[in-house]
Amino acid sequence: MRARKANSRDKILAAAADVAREAGPGSLSLEAVATRAGVSKGGLLYNFPTKAKLMQGLVERYLKDFQKALEARAAENGDESVLSAYIKLSADDCEQPKPSASWMFSAIAEDPDFLAPIKAFKRQLFERLKEETDALGSLLVCFLAIEGLRSMNLFDSDVLSPDEHKLLVAALLKIAG
């Protein structure tokens, strides 16, 4: 069976991710993305009418990829809870270097709904985690600690040493059971 050819939206998102990784999301230009994707600027604007919409598309793609990775991790370790998989995957993700998130402020200013997919994803994930546990207090501690770790990583304000990161993850996994 032949592999499905990537559509222009997928090519644009892949190109945008590459450009953002290389130049930083704040330096992302529509021209650079269109060139990298091999589409006209009009073709890019047809799929993503504004830079903020392109950035939102990148965020949605990241969330979809994170969800797939979470499912795969939980499936490969059948005895591991989704909460434990979430903690480990998030901790691993936070160890990857990330460019400054200052671009996010301009995207939010341009489109106040920019955060809607993130909020929906986190709400859905939290509801799923709640269904799997009788210990809501433990879940809240784990979920909020990981989200705090993610926020520090995203906004380049992490104050924890690598050893403190490991200690936090170990403590959360113990709480998660």
**For residue 9, what is the DSSP state?**
H
Helix/strand number for the chain, H first, E second: 9, 0
Q: Which residue has the tokens 């403590």?
A: 171
Is-contact 169 87, C-beta < 8 A? yes
Q: What whole-number distance in Å separates Cα of residue 33 and Cα of residue 16?
A: 5
How is the chain split into domains, by residue range?
1-49, 59-176
pTM: 0.80
Q: What whole-number distance in Å separates Cα of residue 115 and Cα of residue 93?
A: 19
Q: Which CATH architecture has domain 1-49?
A: Orthogonal Bundle (1.10)
At 87, which amino acid appears?
I
* Cβ-based burial of 78 (10 A; exposed 0-12, middle 13-18, buried ≥19): exposed
Residue 136 or 96, more confident: 136
Q: How many CB atoms lie within 10 A of CB 19?
A: 22
Residue 105 or 139, more confident: 139
DSSP 37-62: HT--HHHHHHH-SSHHHHHHHHHHHH
The answer to whether residue 1 scores a pLDDT higher than 50 is no
The answer to whether residue 3 scores a pLDDT higher than 50 is no
Q: How many CB atoms lie within 10 A of CB 136?
A: 10
Q: What is the pLDDT of residue 101?
A: 67
Q: What whole-number distance in Å separates Cα of residue 7 and Cα of residue 126?
A: 32
Q: Which residues contact 41 (CB under 8 A, 6 or more apart)?
A: 30, 31, 34
The answer to whether residue 19 scores a pLDDT higher than 90 is no
What the block records as the tokens of 94 is 């936070």
Q: Can you give the length of the chain in residues?
A: 177
With H, G, I as helix, E, B as strand and everything else as coil, classify residue 47: helix
Q: What is the pLDDT of residue 105?
A: 73
